[in-house]
Amino acid sequence: MQVIVLHTPKGGSGKSTISREVAAMSAKAGVRTALADLDPQGTTGGWYQRRKNPDPALVNFKPEGMKAQIATLADADFGLLVIDTPPAQPSYIADLLVLADLVLVPVRPTPDDLLAAAPIARSLVRHPCWAFVLSQVPPRTRLLASAVRQLAAIGKVAPAQMTFRADYPAAAIDGSAAAEIVGKASLESADLYSWIIQTLKDTNGKAA
């Protein structure tokens, strides 16, 4: 089983949206997928409560005994676990990141978010597989190219980004994901998921 952790101490970065989009796309691709919500705000958990499709499965994942819980999910034939984390820096985050096959760091293309990206990059410098993912990107903006250049100078940047599109919150109303509807947002989710699968394969020799 592969483990993906969405991580950034910056609030409002799009962690929950990316978590459910990746998990929904994975389930759509036929992978038995687990989704965990460690954020006390419960955004991902609330989304799942509105959802009619049981896949991906929302699992009761706790900060205590994380390694054992991951092993249990792997034994239950889950192929991918996507973990949505809270803002700030809980004490368990360092241990969780060690267990991650891939760490995704959502960043909005704003001066404040780009400034906050540097210390995150420093904290992940020893991790074998992590990348920034630009999120909530305004359409037709000059900010994107500049943001990519700044982030690429301090870490890897996923070639697929999440644009600020109405499909993401609109789909979430009934617990759906943009990945499950026809539109540009769905194509973005598919592009990001394809990159994730290839990255996991290149890094670990196997995909989810």
pLDDT in tens, 81-96: 999 999 888 999 999 9
Residue 208, pLDDT score: 64
Reply yes or no on whether the pLDDT at 139 is more than 90: no
Helix axes 111-123, 143-152, angle to 10 degrees: 20
Q: Residue 195 contacts by C-beta under 8 Å, 6 or more apart in sequence?
A: 158, 159, 160
- Residues 30-76 have pLDDT tens digits of 999 999 999 998 999 999 999 999 999 999 999 999 999 999 999 99
Topology of the domain covering 2-203: Rossmann fold (3.40.50)
> pLDDT confidence of 145, banded at 50, 70, 90?
confident
3-state secondary structure 83-104: EECCCCCCCCHHHHHHHCCEEE
Structure tokens at 41: 């705000």
What number is the average pLDDT over the span 116-128?
A: 94
Q: Strand ranges (DSSP E) for 44-87?
A: 57-58, 80-84
Domain ranges of the chain: 2-203
Reply yes or no on whether the pLDDT at 125 is more than 90: yes
d(CA 173, CA 64): 32
Phi and psi (nearest 5°) for 137?
A: -75, 125
> pLDDT confidence of 207, banded at 50, 70, 90?
low
What number is the average pLDDT over the span 165-171?
A: 94
- In percent, the amount of the chain with pLDDT more than 70 equals 98
- On average, the pLDDT of the chain sits at 94
> pLDDT confidence of 206, banded at 50, 70, 90?
low
Structure tokens at 33: 């997928």
Q: Position 45: which residue type? A: G
> pLDDT confidence of 78, banded at 50, 70, 90?
very high
d(CA 35, CA 76): 14
Q: 128-145 burial by CB neighbour count: b if 16+ within 10 A, else e?
A: ebbbbbbbbbeeeeeebe
Q: Position 163: which residue type? A: T
In 3D space, the residue among 63, 89, 85 whose CA is nearest the CA of residue 9 turns out to be 89
